[in-house]
């Protein structure tokens, strides 16, 4: 296997590869762009006109997405997957990955869409670098542009795998995009209705990509959910630019919209939910979600509400949970 196929190993070790450009047995070109970044160009005559970004490790403690991307990179390098799409493959936050933490200083996934400007932290510099790589990658007009940013919600979920669609004015999620999500064993879609500064929001807003944040299923110790293998098989089809099979999905894709964000305003913030509560747990009206200084109380006011991403260990001013409701 070409050395560049061990991108994760190089990234964790902080090593610069001896060769910045290598080729697979079929002639696909692997080009190292910088720490954690690899560009793949299909062999001559195989380019289908698709530019595909696959990213993981925005939060360094999310191990499953990092492993999934590593498996795909190695499969491309070993010629098990023969790419017909141009690929930008990114391990986004090497310092946090090395320490196994969500963030070292700032949350990288809140620093895109120009939010990094004027910042002096390693995370702001990294966000700017990632944006530059993506802008260069998407430089050619007239090509299809997809981006899947792989994450893990770091807690159990009643809907094991789900996607977040960033807000875009006057744009709906296409039927083909929904089909690809279903083929990847995605159970639910959260449609955002206001701008954000996530990585997928950047590629959607600034480059017109069909972009999603994918929250992968958690794998209990010693277990590997079947849906993760289904995702890997779907990703192989994306990379090979295969048309998705028109098969009946295992279950319908549920859609939700964001009703409210629970924001942490001070260090006195306390979540009043069970520590083991699952994503998409239904919340009865009147449920106390959280409390903060000054008598601030977060109480469920929406019918059919669910909780998503409950996490008290966030910076002041960041969201500590989402209240979502069925879409439509």
Q: Return the active site residues.
A: 215
> Per the annotation, does 207 bind a ligand?
no
Q: Tell me if 265 is assigned to a ligand binding site.
A: no
CB–CB of 201/141 below 8 Å? no
d(CA 185, CA 172): 21
Q: How far is CA 270 from CA 107, 154, 157, 293, 321, in A?
A: 20, 19, 21, 9, 12
Q: Give bridge partners of residue 299 from the DSSP assignment.
A: 288
Q: What phi and psi values does residue 38 have, to the nearest 5 degrees?
A: -135, 130
Burial class (CB in 10 A: 0-12, 13-18, 19+), 317: exposed
151 annotated as belonging to a binding site for a ligand: yes
Q: Which residues carry a binding-site annotation for Zn(2+)?
A: 59, 62, 151
Q: Which residues carry a binding-site annotation?
A: 59, 62, 151
């Amino acid at each position: 296997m070409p050395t560049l196929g061990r991108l994760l190993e190089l990234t964790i070790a902080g090593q610069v590869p001896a060769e910045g450009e290598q080729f697979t047995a079929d002639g696909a070109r692997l080009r190292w762009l910088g720490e954690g970044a690899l560009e793949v160009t299909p062999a001559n005559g195989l380019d289908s006109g698709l530019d595909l970004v696959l990213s993981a490790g925005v939060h360094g403690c999310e191990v499953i997405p990092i492993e999934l991307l590593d498996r795909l990179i190695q499969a491309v390098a070993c010629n098990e997957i023969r790419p017909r799409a141009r690929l930008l493959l990114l391990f986004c936050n090497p310092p946090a990955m090395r320490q196994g933490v969500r963030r070292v200083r700032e949350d990288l996934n809140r620093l895109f869409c120009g939010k990094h400007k004027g910042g002096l932290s390693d995370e702001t510099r990294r966000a700017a670098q990632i944006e530059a790589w993506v802008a260069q990658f998407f430089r050619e007009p007239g090509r299809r542009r997809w981006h899947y940013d792989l994450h893990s919600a770091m807690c159990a979920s009643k809907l094991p795998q789900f996607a977040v669609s960033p807000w875009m004015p006057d744009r709906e999620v296409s039927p083909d995009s929904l089909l690809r999500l279903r083929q990847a064993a995605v159970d639910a879609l959260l449609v955002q209705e206001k701008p954000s500064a996530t990585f997928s929001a950047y590629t959607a807003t600034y480059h017109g990509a069909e972009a999603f944040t994918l929250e992968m299923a958690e794998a209990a110790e010693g277990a590997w959910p079947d849906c993760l293998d289904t995702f890997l098989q779907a990703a192989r089809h994306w990379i090979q630019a295969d048309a998705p099979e028109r098969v009946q999905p295992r279950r319908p894709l549920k859609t939700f919209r964001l009703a409210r964000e629970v924001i942490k305003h001070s260090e006195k913030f306390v979540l009043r939910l069970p520590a083991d509560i699952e994503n998409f747990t239904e919340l009865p009206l009147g449920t106390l979600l959280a409390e903060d200084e000054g008598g601030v109380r977060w109480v469920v006011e929406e019918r059919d509400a669910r909780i998503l991403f409950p996490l008290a260990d966030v910076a002041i001013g960041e969201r500590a949970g989402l209240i979502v409701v069925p879409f439509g």
